[in-house]
Structure 1
Amino acid sequence: MAKNYVQAGTTLAITATAAVKSGSLVQAGDVFVVAVTDIAAGATGDGIAHGVFLVPKLATDVMAAGKKVYLKDGKVQLDAT
């Protein structure tokens, strides 16, 4: 094992700016994670950074694999606005 190994990187610590429910998609910097547990506003919890999840999206958007997406009002969408 490399001396500088820290962790597998499957989860990231996130600090919730508002209350977050387990399973919710959360933006952590430039990365999206799925909250492992409920996280109170101002508290820190873990988000899963790797895996396949079903998350809400805009019904009008057709998303191809590998397409850049944005998070707005709890839904994934193709447009930043």
Structure 2
Amino acid sequence: MSKVIVTDHPLIQHKLTLMRQTTTGSKDFRELLKEISMLMGYEVTRNLPLEEIEIETPITTTKSKIISGKKLGI
């Protein structure tokens, strides 16, 4: 099961541009790569299914959402 996800988020595009410049040193390259990886994590999990559950808060009970289905590993 393979699926291609195009990440066209402006922050990712900006950081890719900085990475590609010849003036970018290896330290900055690694930092930018780490930042892009974190941003991509948000993009690829955007459409995960949610389910509503009831939880107890310090004040009252309320309904809130959690990721439904199997455990997730990225």
- TM-score (norm: length of structure 1): 0.21
TM-score, normalising length: structure 2: 0.22
Structure having the larger proportion of residues in helix: 2
| Larger-Rg structure | 2
- Larger strand percent: 1
